[in-house]
Amino acid sequence: MSGFWFLRAMSEDDRRIRVLVVDDHDVVQWGFRLLLERQPWVERCLAAHDSAEALRLAGEAKPQVALVDLFLGRQSGAELCDDLREASPDTKILLISGAGRISAAAARAAGASGFVSKDWGAPDVLRAIRMVGLGMDVFEPESEPPKAPLSEREREVVSLIAAGSTNREIAEQLFLSPHTIKEYTSGVYRKLGVRNRAEAVKRAQSLGLIG
């Protein structure tokens, strides 16, 4: 299916859609709302700071598309997908992130219809939102493994945490000092935006970083 077909289908379809932006940064929210409200194919744009607000708005407005930040406070956007689709079954979810990636397989498993990067230009993000609103999937071709927010060593540490190992046990298995493992663990918390071991494991699993 060619890119020309996509563009023609989009130009010929005059359906207007409701879009819900879920992002905990005010400036990002404001930017997306300003951008989307100027589009003739957008009927209405709503915005939520957290999962509770997102679920309430989804249940009330039944948006066709929810643009959801992959890292949403202590919860990941991938974790929010199921709850959003339960609140509004017809809502399609497009994940977005400025730091880190999620594989197409993991995004689909979470119930998302696509993933875009905040590094993309505004026209490309808008095109992706409209494509998802028209029932299409939007994923970049994965000619190489997607970049993960964790290094290989950090993923090893999280995998061992998930297996129930203590820092001292992890240090013994990886032939490193407990202090080094503590530094790796702190780095994992920072990159994943979590506060403890349980949250780190849950988020790493939701992003497809560990089994």
Per-residue pLDDT reduced to its tens digit, 179-208: 899 989 988 888 887 888 888 888 888 777
Domain ranges within the chain, ordered by starting residue: 3-133, 152-206
- Widest pairwise Cα distance in the chain: 62
- Percent of the chain whose predicted confidence (pLDDT) is above 70: 87
**pLDDT at position 37, please?**
93
Please give the average per-residue pLDDT across 81-96, as a whole number. Answer: 92
Please, which pLDDT band fits residue 70 given cuts at 50, 70 and 90? confident
**pLDDT at position 209, please?**
82
Please give the average per-residue pLDDT across 133-149, as a whole number. Answer: 71
Asked if 135 contacts 95 with a C-beta cutoff of 8 angstroms, the reply is no
Residue type, 45: C
What is the second-level CATH architecture of the domain 152-206? Orthogonal Bundle (1.10)
pLDDT reading at 3 higher than 60: no
pTM: 0.64
Return the sign of the alpha-carbon dihedral for residues 125, 53, 194, 205: negative
- Record: fold of 3-133: Rossmann fold (3.40.50)
> Across the strands, what pairs with 116?
96
Q: Vertex 83, ends 133 and 125: CA angle to 5°? A: 30
